[in-house]
Structure 1
Amino acid sequence: MPVCLNAGRLRIGRFSEPGRIYLITAVVHQRQPFFADWRLGRLVVNQLREAQEDGWADFLTWVVMPDHVHCLLQLRDRTLAEVMCRIKARSSRAVNLALRRQGRLWQKGYHDRAVRKEEDLKDLARYVILNPVRAGLVTRVHDYPLWDACWL
C-alpha cells in the first residue's frame, strides 16, 4: 500500500464516516489533460475498481475527465483520506510507468462533499456522468469511454 503523508490527518472540517456517501473531485497537476488519452484514463479506472474489490469503498458513479476525476463513493472500512491516497498514488505510478515519466500526476488534496440524506443521489450521479457533455467532449454520455454508474 502507498504511504501518504498526513493520510490520517483530515482537513479542518473534514469528517470521514463509514457508510457515508461523498462527492469527490481530484484534479491533475497543472490541469494537464493526461486522460484525454482514454488508455491512461483506464489506469485510473482500474484503481477505482481495485479499491472497491478490496472493500475500501463502493464507487456508485464516476467519470474520468481529461484533467480531473469526479466520483460518488460510499466509504466502507477505510477513511476518505486512505481511499484517495491509494487511488492517487497507484494511478500516478501506473500513468508514470506507461508514459515513462516521473513526477507528480495529481494536485495535492481533493475536494469532497458529504452527501446529505435528503439530497437526491441520482441527481448527483447525473451531474457526475454528464460532465463530458457539459464540457463539449461528446453530445451523448454513452459516447464517452470513461464513466460508469451502479444503476446501469
Structure 2
Amino acid sequence: MPSQTPPHSQSLRKGRVSEPGRLYLLTSATHQRRPLFRDWQAGRALVAEIQQAVASRRVGSLAWVIMPDHFHWLLELKEASLDALMRTLKSRSAIAINRHLGEDGQIWQKGYHDHALRAEEDVQGVARYIIANPLRAGLVKRIGDYPFWDAKWL
C-alpha cells in the first residue's frame, strides 16, 4: 500500500528551531488541497484560532492570509514552540470546521512549512507578498474585496 505521507514531509522538521522573539512565516495546506476556505464559516473558524493564539500571547501576528486550500501567517513567536502553536491551531480549527461541515475527516495535511526571517529581510515586504496572494491567484481584483486577510500595518 502506498504511503499517505507527502514527499519530503519528514524533511520539513529537520533543523526546526523555535526562538522566542523571532519572526516566522508559516504555511500549512488542507488535506489533499481541498478548498475548504471557500466556505465562509470554515474560513472564520481558522480566523478565530489565529485570533485565539494572539489573545493567549503565544504569538504576535504581523500578517496572514487564508487561501481556499492553505494559509500563510507572518508572526513573532513569543511563549509557544512552533510545533505546539501549529498543533493547537490545526487541531482546534479542524474540530470547528468538521462541526460546521457535519463531517469528521482530516482537515489538514501533516506538517507545515516554516521560514525564520533573517535580519536583512524586509518584514513589510514579506507581509505585502503574503497579502497579495489572492490577487496573484486571480481570486479578486482588489485585496479589499478578499475576506480572509489581516496585517498589523492597517
Mapped contact 2:41–2:100 kept (Cα < 8 A): no
Amino acid paired to 1:105: I
**2:126 maps to which residue?**
124
Assess if the C-alpha contact under 8 Å between 1:38 and 1:146 holds in 2: no
1:87 corresponds in structure 2 to 89
**Percent identity between the aligned chains?**
52
1:105 maps to what in 2? Answer: 107
Deviations 1:42-78 (A, max 9, x none): 1000000001101111111000100000010110111
1:42 maps to 44
| Structure 1 stretches lacking a partner, 5+ long | 1-9
State how far apart, in whole Å, the 2-side matches of 1:22 and 1:16 are: 9
Secondary structure at 2:25's aligned position in 1?
strand
* Secondary structure of 2:107 counterpart: coil
- Structure 1 counterpart of 2:143, from 131, 141, 146: 141
CA distance in structure 2 between the aligned counterparts of 1:17 and 1:86, rounded to whole angstroms: 18
Counterpart in 2 of 1:32?
Answer: 34
Q: CA RMSD in A?
A: 0.9
Question: Would you say the 8 A contact 2:60–2:78 is kept in 1?
Answer: yes
Structure 1 segments, 4+ long, off by >2 Å, are none
**Number of equivalences:** 143
Shift of 1:38: 2.1
Q: TM-score, normalised by structure 1?
A: 0.92
8 Å contact kept, 2:29–2:109: yes
CA distance in 1 between partners of 2:60 and 2:94 (Å): 21
Aligned to 2:6: none
Match of 2:8 in 1: none
Normalising by the residue count of structure 2, what TM-score does the alignment of the two structures yield?
0.91
